[in-house]
Chains A and B, each alone.
Chain A
Amino acid sequence: MPRKRGSLPLTGYRRPNGRVGVRNHVLILPVDDLSNAAAEGVARLIHPTVALPHPYGRLQFGKDLELTFRTLSGHGANPNVYGAVVIGIEPKWTERVASAIAKTGKPVESFSIERHGDLNVINAASRVAYRMAQDASEVKREPIEVSELVLSIKCGESDPTLGLAGNKAQGKVVDRLVDMGASVIFGETSELTGGEHLIAERCATPALKRKFLKLYNDYIAMIEAQGVDLLGSQPTEGNIRGGLSTIEEKALGNIQKTGTRPVNAVLDYAEEVAPGQGLVFMNSSSAGAEQVTLCAAGGSVLHFFTTGQGNIVGHPLIPVIKISPNPITCKTMREHIDVALPDLLVGEIGLEQAAERILEVFVRTVNGRLTAAELLRHNEFVLTKLYPSA
């Protein structure tokens, strides 16, 4: 059983499989690029539903296909989703995605376009979405425990204000949430470069450490197999402008936000995370939208995102809490920031006070307060592609 220390006044939506969400979306999920038009058609007709248009799902094969299926069905299964309408061009893959979602016990219906056409599918799917959205509107929030939640973290457009302040405060928050029994996912495999030994040392068992180092080394080998290194892209131009000089410096700042607890699980892209696992590493790109999408597919219901120079990423299904200690960013991009911590940067408040400020916004966000990214319609949904389609 997860350790419990303290409790927070949280409410959420309990799903038929016992998992807990903090939002209550009805999802219109296209299986492939061709089905985006119909899915978006349904979402335009029926309020409040969410479509997840994307460019893939055709002629993928092997691990890349498995990852796309896992990401799509993971979004349907995400506890922030009440029910899903799955639309694909042909019935077989459509059914595959729908039946994976149906294992959660939530309402799922699927439609294929071949031999029906977009208009008939939009008609039939909209009638189902209409009923689903109305049913969803009657589901009540109920008290939940932190230990029932799967959460995730990332930083982006990083600069040294994160390593010094923002990520250190976030690390305190992660330690507290893990101690209260939450699962917290982190990733950004290539951005651990220079600090990967510190993560390896925190793996809870020798087997996990070997698994982590294999995923890390395979990722770097994949980059180097392209005949390049990350010198041109890591740190990014934004990172450099903010003051980060090398990938090592970026990584050391990055891992501050993971706190100090052991890494209890090491997973590949978009693999499912259960509550009560503690701190979990998930192999991922370090690109914001790709990583948040992989975390949501793995079951994260809320994401903490620390930013220096002002990454504005969001996600269609999970609230992304944006935290920044950079005074320029907090002033010039105020509408994107949920938790401003410039006073932490100059030492006017301490890390504990900063962590409290983040936790307070976390509680309000879980309970329904909209994040900056939700208000500004930052609905980034980006599939990770492992190699070209056939």
Chain B
Amino acid sequence: MAHRALAHKSTDDVAVAVADLKAGEELTIESLEGGPAQRVRVLEDIPLGHKIALRDMPEGHVVIEYGERIGRLTQAVKKGGWVHVHNIRTLRWDYGKGNKPTRRRAGKGGS
């Protein structure tokens, strides 16, 4: 059966939708590098190419994809939720600028 979403590594926090996902879909998400598949219920519509959370994550969580750090959550995300610019920000230039400011910090944070 064709994949609906795929993770890079089974330990990643997020997977990538390879088709437009609809809220309520029950998915079995495999990883490109093997490891156990994960059962995830899609919480909201997620477009092709966008990320779906593979576990509940709190605000401030550093999200792992490709086994690497890709950014910090600006709000909590539930398993099956959509992870994108409304709730994740880069660890570079992480000082509160941009469209979705968190709080201003002195100096550079993050990486």
Contacts and interface: CB of A to CB of B under 8 A. Distances in A.
Interface of A: 159-161, 163-165, 168, 193-195, 198, 229-232, 240, 242-243, 245-249, 252-253, 308, 326-328, 345-348
Nearest to A255: B66
Contacts of A348: 2
Q: Is the interface of B mostly helix, strand, loop or mixed?
A: loop
Given A231-B98, A347-B3, A247 B49 contact: no
Contacts of A326: 48-49
B70 A249 contact: yes
B93 A249 contact: no
A346 B49 contact: no
Interface string B2-25: 110010100000001111000000
B76 interface: no
A240 B85 contact: yes
A347 B2 contact: yes
Contact of B71 (A160, A163, A230, A248): A248
B83 interface: yes
B28 to A, nearest CB: 12
Contact of A243 (B68, B71, B84, B98): B84
Contacts of B51: 160, 243, 245
Interface size class of chain B, counting residues whose CB lies under 8 Å from the partner chain: 20 to 34
Contacts of A246: 70-71, 88-91
B92 interface: yes
A164 B84 contact: no
Contacts of A163: 8, 16, 66
Contacts of B89: 246
A231 B18 contact: no
A385 to B, nearest CB: 24
Contacts of A247: 90, 92
21 contacts: A163-B16, A163-B66, A164-B6, A194-B92, A230-B93, A232-B98, A243-B48, A243-B50, A245-B70, A245-B85, A246-B71, A246-B88, A246-B91, A247-B90, A247-B92, A249-B65, A249-B71, A252-B70, A326-B48, A346-B2, A347-B6
Contacts of A249: 65, 70-71
B84 to A, nearest CB: 5
B32 interface: yes
Contacts of B85: 240, 245
A156 to B, nearest CB: 15
Nearest to A224: B93
